[in-house]
Amino acid sequence: QVQLVESGGGLVQAGGSLRLSCAASGRTFSVGAMGWFRQAAGKDREFVSAISRSGGRTDYADSVKGRFTISRDNAKNTVYLQMNSLKPEDTAVYYCAADRRGSYYPLSSRDLYDYWGQGIQVTVSS
């Protein structure tokens, strides 16, 4: 099993930046792709960004392209989400997710991911 713990969330003014981190522990050698999803109040959980195991492929939701950057450090078993130019509509609980490997879905597909973090609040004020 793999455990995921997010950190780096909080309150920021519109236009500001935050960097989320997600540290994986347990059987981290089994982790493939990793991604970020978010869920705003009253809305469904939506895809934000994802990165392949090697880092060679990334994907972003249209709403965050050009503002967010995903990266990973496999030596630290950690994936990051750098969020710049934050908007109030970015306010949500952000969840880290990891693929167990062996599934064949796009990086943006929720079905790809087997492990989920507890979520971390990001609030962007106007």
Cβ 64 vs Cβ 48: under 8 Å: yes
Per-residue model confidence (pLDDT) at position 75 = 92
- Residue 102 scores a pLDDT above 80: no
> Hunting for tokens 């106007």 — which residue is that?
126
Per-residue model confidence (pLDDT) at position 29 = 86
- Residue 30 scores a pLDDT above 90: no
Per-residue pLDDT band at 70 (split at 50, 70, 90) = very high
Distance CA 50, CA 70 (A): 7
